[in-house]
Amino acid sequence: MKLPCVKETVPETERKIKVNDEEYNRAFKYANNFIKTSKYNFVTFLPINLYEQFTRLANFYFLCLLLLQLVPVISSLNPITTILPLLGVLSITAIKDAYDDIQRHRSDNQVNNRVSEVLREGQLQEVLWKNVVVGDIIKMSSNQFVAADLLLLSTSDANGLCYVETSELDGETNLKCKQCLGDTSALQDNIEAISSFDAEIQCEPPNNNLSKFQGTLTWRGKNVTLADGYKFQVFLPWVDVIPQEPVASGAAVTAALVFFSYIILLNTVVPISLYVSVEMIRLFQSLLINWDKKMMYKPSKTYAKARTTTLNEELGQVQYIFSDKTGTLTQNVMTFNKCSINGVSYGDVDEELEGYDDPIDFSGNPYSEPSFVFYDRQLTVDLRKHDPNVENFFLLLSLCHTIMPEEEDGKLVYQAQSPDEAALVSAARNFGFVFKSRTPTSITVVINGEEQTHELLCILDFNNVRKRMSVVVRYCGKLRLYCKGADSIIYQRLASGQEEKMATTSEHMDNYAGEGLRTLCLAVKDLDEDYYADWWNRYQEAATSLEERDEKVDAIYEEIEKDLTLLGASAIEDKLQDGVPETIANLALAGIKIWVLTGDKQETAINIGYSCQVTKASRRPPSIFAIRAWLPSFLQLLTDEMHEPIIIDGETEDVVRSQLQKALAEFPDDPADNLQQKPPPKRARNGMVETGYSLVVNGHSLVFALQKEMEECLLAVASQCRAVICCRVTPLQKAKVVDLVKRYKQAVTLSIGDGANDVSMIKTAHIGVGISGHEGMQAVLASDFSVAQFRYLERLLLVHGRWSYYRMCKFLTYFFYKNFAFAFCHFWYAFFVGFSAQTVFDTLFISAYNLFYTALPVLALGSFDQDVSEENSLRYPKLYTPGLENRWFSKKIFLRSALHGILTSCVLFFVVVGYYYNAITPEGLTNSDFFTFGSVLATILVIVVTAQICLDTAYWTIFNHITIWGSLLFMYALQYLVNHAFNGIYLNSLAMPMGEPAYYLCSLLAVVMVIVPVIAWRFWWLDIHPTLTERVRYKQRAEASGVSPKPISLPRIFRRRSTIRRRETGKSLRSGYAFSHQEGFGRLITEGKLLGVSHSM
């Protein structure tokens, strides 16, 4: 049933837009272009923030407690003891929330206040992006941000082409070629013509599908398809409340009064100051992250940013990391690394040769690039000898591609759809085979200073089925076909008699792939003019066929791409960001599981798993054995010791179910069975088994695998694997995979990405981290933390995360200890006052205990304490393990802390009772009054808990000294000021006992009885059961004092290896091909539509 006053929201099914008609578009009330991630403004801050704070159980609890204290019949405490702390909590939290929201406002303003040129009233006007409305026509220039969904009308290019970088959406930095509609391209930059443009657009509403768009443009009668968060009696007048008859009824009322009175009296066990302190510590930890210069990316001067203050300690408990690849782990920059030409491998250098680590000097080539580096001089030697195989190899690289050249500041620059092609053409350029220019019918190259123009006859373009591309060129009357592609494809099309060369080249490619390089096979074929003429005629017929055109064209391609001569193979490296392998190694050693969720295709995803080198460690005693930890390229997840990857790529539900069940059945009951003659793997605490299996799941298979009836089976298989890579996944599937682990593993998850396609994954995980480099800000705006490079994640987790978790656990343990010690003094006193809820301490002490006397020392403990240095936190990643196992704060730790506090209160209370019960002074005066007893007990309590925090502090700073000793002095000063200067009711209650030695003896006895057993226990435990943390601390202290530490068993640090291990199984490791993920520019080039790349549109 719906209320008649509530307007029903009708879901938007389509959009109708008239270009240059603001009034028409305004009638539909479309959303504006204002970006808003902030929560408050000046008007709404107070009501919304107070509402949010009182929806928290803790604040609501103290509000209810305050209301109970306002009832005189059951409360012996002044309401001010709750009002002041509650106001403090609300104020501090509000300040923190306001600070966070101000940062969001600043981020929003950066986007909203970008300037765009909008065509209005017949002229271009500078308009802020937030003021752009649906239907506006906008002029975009080179390197300008796009802050709205746009339809390309025209460009300054004659063929209506432009290049778009979509890094803010998907993290991809390579350019995407877009072409405007033929009907609108004639508009060019004619302001008058564009102003009169009055087309109507009917299209789908905004949605989360980044790769598809449907709509229709109607203009001049023609329809064009568009597709692509004071006394006892005075305080408690029970006599007037408790009925005298019947007795049972009076007893029941008395029991209820006692119960509620002690609920109020003992509420200090969990005081409101706990929440104040937690928020302050979290805020300070966030500032430490923001201020950390070691997480600043110097090229852009970008600091790490904590965009929330509530998740710092969870950074020390992360068990699963879900990472994107492009722009997150990699630079998306390819480099030419090695090659095999005519059975000879180039790129490996002999370290025994002098100057082996000096790169080749290419300065003699005017077209060389300073960034290009190659070390094997034998390749240049063979080039100077004019080795025909080497020359043909580089000539192929300079001709067989779809790259567009252009001049920028007098320098030759390449615009490539794929960074792979750019790396290959760049290599040829630096070795003297310079691709200079192209027309629809020719390609001009400069070879060793001589310009050659090759007639371009045909481009046999790449696609994901062919996995190869070819060009047919004529030069000096000779026809030749150059082809490059996946080795599995090229080898099937080679002419016979090349078995020896094929075997040698295959061996080289295996070696390259073992190093994680992406390989590509190159071949050539000489053509006969008559044969080519006949083939061309049949190709034209197939290309113009109206039925099964693609199949016919592929068949024609097959005819000419056979009987090829193998030239060799190239090997390029998809460069990781700096420090990624080391970061992955340390995170893996810390016990964190890393899954990769990428939009790359299956072949790329599998082979990228081999892209990094191996690290190795050895341990003694009892014997020496190797432990392999392979990390991928976006993680060395796949290893030589592993079985073949388990691939889930079924196209139907039944096939996917069968593949999962088959994979699950293959796992041995004993995990050691799958590692013949190798040490059995350990089962991780979170259920992951360190086996030699890896899992690769395709996106279309995930559609079925993530269904409710199959998701547990998928997780069971993944839990048995060391490596999990999900490829070709959509943003929604990324989020579902994260949610799957969250629900079933009950583990803290972290997602890290850099593009808009990672936002759903980032928001689904417990912790979201955005990469705030030059690839865009969409992921950052949705994240909890932001870093400029993936390598800073290591420091964020292993240093800041671990310290935050350690400090918060220590803070909570001590906080509950001191408050149980405080609150249970009332409990022991209850036995002497008949459980009448009379307080043993005065109101001032009750209010100030958690606000002043013990607040600052524990804040300093929670803000500055550290068990080991930041260097050792990174050096020994296993120190992160306590957070994964929740070892430093659990129910057991809480109960131990509570018991410690109760025993402390018992010792304190009865030591003071033992002396001051019926005590008299040497002058014969009584010294056992209520006020004296309470004052003495209060001060000794503060002394004891202060001694305890001194014992708990592992890292002393000037702030610890000031807060600890200052708080102790402040307690005596405030007691004197209130009770003497202002004649308080506790006048001389502390001054008199302090004039006698007995006070100091009681204090010393209490400290010794409480602290000495703790010291003895800790020394015994440290000597008998030292933890890794304690061993590292011992080593750290010994090194700091210059004393050689006693040899202790410490885990060794994994070092990177440079040796190559070849795979023992028969299947090749190498990448199938290194091409772009979509069809190339071949058709546009041959049609003459890809010339003169535009800088504006």
Catalytic residues: 324
- Tokens matching residue 85: 């702390």
The Cα-based distances of 5 to 2, 8, 498, 722 in angstroms read 8, 9, 83, 57
Q: What is the DSSP string of 772-818?
A: -STT-SHHHHH-SEEESSTTHHHHIIIIIIHHHHHHHHHHHHHHHHH
* Burial tier of 922 (Cβ tally within 10 Å: 0-12, 13-18, 19+): exposed
The Cα-based distances of 409 to 363, 413, 426, 433, 436 in angstroms read 19, 10, 18, 22, 15
Strands in 614-618's sheet, in edge-to-edge order, are: 626-630, 614-618, 1055-1056
CB within 8 Å of 880: residues ≥ 6 apart: 316, 590, 591, 592, 797, 798, 801, 802, 873
Q: Residue 947: which of 930, 928, 968 has the closest Cα?
A: 968
CB within 8 Å of 139: residues ≥ 6 apart: 116, 117, 118, 119, 124, 189, 1096, 1097
926 φψ region: left (φ > 0), alpha (ψ -120 to 50), beta (else): beta
Distance CA 287, CA 284 (A): 5
Distance CA 772, CA 47 (A): 33
Distance CA 966, CA 952 (A): 18
Pairing of strands 344-346, 1055-1056: unpaired
Q: Residue 82: which of 277, 271, 280, 236 has the closest Cα?
A: 271
Beta bridge partners of 15: 203
Beta bridge partners of 723: 694
Q: Angle 57-69/247-265 helices, nearest 10 degrees?
A: 130
Pairing of strands 318-323, 748-753: parallel
Q: What is the DSSP string of 142-196?
A: TT----S-------SSTT-EEEEE-HHHH---SEEEEE--HHHHTTTT-HHHHHT
Pairing of strands 646-648, 626-630: unpaired
Distance CA 81, CA 69 (A): 9
* Burial tier of 528 (Cβ tally within 10 Å: 0-12, 13-18, 19+): exposed
Please name the residue ranges forming H helices in 266-361: 273-291
Instruction: Judge whether 832 and 839 are in contact, CB under 8 Å.
Output: no
Instruction: Judge whether 1059 and 622 are in contact, CB under 8 Å.
Output: no
Please name the residue ranges forming H helices in 400-473: 419-430
Instruction: Judge whether 506 and 1068 are in contact, CB under 8 Å.
Output: yes
Distance CA 219, CA 200 (A): 7
Q: Answer whether the bond into residue 246 is a cis peptide, omega within 30°.
A: yes
Distance CA 576, CA 791 (A): 10
For 10-30, give one letter per residue: b (16+ CB within 10 A) or e: eeeeebebbbbeeeebeeeeb
- Tokens matching residue 1095: 């800088």
Instruction: Judge whether 168 and 778 are in contact, CB under 8 Å.
Output: yes
Instruction: Judge whether 600 and 559 are in contact, CB under 8 Å.
Output: no
